[in-house]
Each structure stands twice: as structure tokens, then as C-alpha cells.
Amino acid sequence: MPVFEYTALNYKGREVSGIIDAQNSVAARSRLRQQDVFPVSLEKLESNSDAREKKLKFLSLNFFSKVSSSELSMVTRQLSTLLSAGFPLVKALATLIPQAKSKSMQKVLSRVKDAIEEGSSFAKALALYPNIFSPVFINMVKAGESSGTLEIVLERLAWFAENKEDSKKKIQASLAYPVFMSFIGFGILIVLLTYVVPGIIDIFSDLNQTLPLLTIILIKISSFFKSWWWCILPSPFLFLMIFFLIRKTEKGELLIDRLLISMPIIGTLLKKHIAAQFTRTLGSLLSNGVPMLTALNITKNIAGNRVIVQLISKTCDIVEQGGKLGETLDKSNDFPYLASQMIKIGETSGELETMLEKTADLLEKDVQTSVTSATSLIEPLIILVMGVVVGLIIFAIFLPIFEINQLIQ
């Protein structure tokens, strides 16, 4: 059925816009008037063809990339609820279209519904929008369609997305204050060394006296900051830019990912975080009927670390040859020991899916606890470092004054 994008006026005279499907423009205008909406403009979005499919993919990469993860999880849960209540898939999608927050999501849902009406499966329709629906999402929907448990799969996907978003927000909230304090401290240090210290130290320039070593060091550092402050201020941003440019190359990305997971504390947390994502995703895929090898290949694409991607690829090859997942992961230092042991227990007991879910729960709690503990230590540490630096600056300034005072006495 053709889909139309409209701009109209409601009964209060306010402008509204949205998506509606109808046999033709006359029928679309009629449907809008029945809803007490009076169309001003009506544009048809072309229907199925090879050109349309290309256009859909182009649009999915440009206009439909603004759908937030929170909106996607909300729509997924609403769709699951409607399907559980007995709504057919097409009708459920049609019900969600006007309720979607963003116009991008409205267009996506309309086109997905249109594709299903034309004979496509739900998973194939979603695959037209790879920037919105991940391979995990699409493959789990495909498994749900095959097994007749689509509403259960969608509910699980919604829970998975909500849990991931919640963990991400907690970590961001924990790190926000230390990062803010670091920037403030760095700014205060530059102001002191660039403007405050030079004005005070100029007093000693007219004295024919040998200054203490600490004061000389402070003068040199202050002169350096005063001369090169325009290079120092943007240096963190330049560092980040270079970091991302290096990461875009294959060798650079592998090197940086290796360095990140090799760091003493951050590396351990990163390994646990990646392992939690791996076990959670793999467990969800396996419990919804996705074969092991297919599930491993899908999970590999969301690892986010080239070192772990290589490990999963190697594991996938060994499992394909009849090897055990847990034993393969246990041989690598890049995968947490606890996770590999619990996977081995799951394989031995025949409860791998359940054990993967429990492993993900343990690792997520461990990461969250570690981040909270670390940030609680970082905050006083930043204050301590700032206090020591400022104290050294003050001591370096007053040390010559004390020496002059002793000479006078």
C-alpha cells in the first residue's frame, strides 16, 4: 500500500506532520479529514522496486540514522506488548506509527509495514536499515519469526537494550564528576602559571640573589606556559584527533585495542565489559534458536575490540571443528578467567544459555561496582594532586622571600 508524508492543520489551526498509508492521495486526504486533520501538502513515498530499495538504503544511511537507542527499545517493547495482546504484526506496526516520537522512526515503521504487506518477512524488512537495527536485532527477529515466538524475542531485545542503556548511563554518571574536575584543575593550573605566577616572580628579577632551585624550575615552567599556552590548550583535543585517526587504520586499531586491554586497571575493566556483552548477546541468540556458529559470528561484530574479535574468530573456527567454546576461551589471557570457567560449566551441564546469562549478570555487576569504587577514589585523588601542585607553586614563590628575610635579619 502506498505511503504518504503529509503536512496538515488540526482543528486548533496548528501545523502537524506525519506518515499515513492509503490506496491513493484522495483516500489519504479523506482519512486525514476523518481524523479532523486538514492536509496542506501530501507527498507520496514511492513503493516497491529495485530503485526504491536502493533509495531506502540510501535514506537509512542518512535520514534514518537519528533514531536513538532509547526510542528503539521503547518501540520494540510496545510492539512486543501489542503482539502479546493478539494484534497482527501489520496492525501492530500501524498502531505504533503515529505514536513514534521522531519522524525518522515513523518513516521506518511505515516502510517496514509496507514491505511486509508486499510479502517480505519482518527480518528482511528490518535489514533495509542497518544503521538502526543491528545484526543481533535482525537475527533474533528472524529466529523469533521461525519459531513463532516473535513477541518473546522482541521483549527480550527491549530488555537487553534498556539494560545496556542503563549501564551506560550509570558509568557515564560515575565518570562525569572526575572528568569535570580534571578539566577545571587543568584550567586553573594554566591560569596560575600563565598570568598569576609571572606577575609575582617579576619581583625577584631586580634582586641580585641566587634563587632556590624550586623557584627556578617554576619560572622556567611558567615561561614555557606563557609562551606556548596556545599550543598547550588544544593539545588534549589534538591528541584525541590523532587517536581516532590512528584507530581508523587496521594496524592502528589493533595496536590501540591491544594497549587498552593491557593497561593495569582499565584493561581489566574493559575485558570484563566486553565479556559481559559477549555472554549476554550469545546467550540471547542461543536461547532464541540461533545456531552456535551463526551466533558467534554475529557476536563477533559487536565486540568493539579488534583483539577480542580475533579471539572470537579463532574460537569460531575451533568450535566448527568440534572444539569446546569454554576451553578455547580459557586458553586466552584476553578473556576473563571467571567467564571462561562458567562457560565450561554450562557446556558440561547442558545449561549453556542459562550460564551465559548468569555470567553476564556477574560481570556487569562487577564492572559497575569497580567503576563506582574507582571514581570514589579518583575524586579525592584529583583534589589531593591539585592541592600538592598549588602548594608547590606557593612554596616556590615564598621560598625566596623567606631567604631574603633571613638575610635581612
Question: In angstroms, what CA-CA distances link 140 with 123, 285, 351?
Answer: 9, 6, 20
Chain-centroid distance, C-alpha 230 = 32
Q: Residue 134 phi/psi, 5° resolution?
A: -75, 165
Q: How far apart are CA 282 and CA 347, in angstroms?
A: 13
Q: What is the 3-state secondary structure (H, E, C) of 99-145?
A: HCCCHHHHHHHHHHHHHHHCCCCHHHHHCCCCCCCCHHHHHHHHHHH
Task: Please tell me the predicted confidence (pLDDT) of residue 303.
Answer: 72
Please compute Rg for the chain using Cα positions.
Answer: 30
Vertex 18 angle, CA 13 and 19, to 5°: 140
Spatial strand order of the sheet with 3-10 comes to 15-21, 3-10, 37-45
Residues (pLDDT < 70) of the chain are: 1-3, 11-13, 45-66, 204-209, 301-302, 405-409
Task: Please tell me the predicted confidence (pLDDT) of residue 345.
Answer: 93
Task: Please tell me the predicted confidence (pLDDT) of residue 13.
Answer: 64
Model confidence over 187-204: pLDDT tens digits?
A: 888 888 888 777 777 776
Q: Which amino acid is at 206?
A: D
CA atoms within 13 A on the CB side of 128: 26
CB-neighbour burial class of residue 265 (10 A; exposed 0-12, middle 13-18, buried 19+) = exposed
| DSSP-assigned letter for residue 158 | H
Model confidence over 46-79: pLDDT tens digits?
A: 544 444 444 444 444 444 446 788 888 899 999 9
Task: Please tell me the predicted confidence (pLDDT) of residue 58.
Answer: 45
Q: Where are the alpha helices (DSSP H) in 118-234?
A: 122-126, 135-147, 150-191, 197-201, 213-232
Q: What is the pTM of this model?
A: 0.64
At 207, list the grid cell.
634582586
Task: Please tell me the predicted confidence (pLDDT) of residue 62.
Answer: 44
Tell me if 306 sits within 8 A of 257, measured CB to CB. Answer: yes
Q: Residue 4 phi/psi, 5° resolution?
A: -120, 140
Task: Please tell me the predicted confidence (pLDDT) of residue 359.
Answer: 93
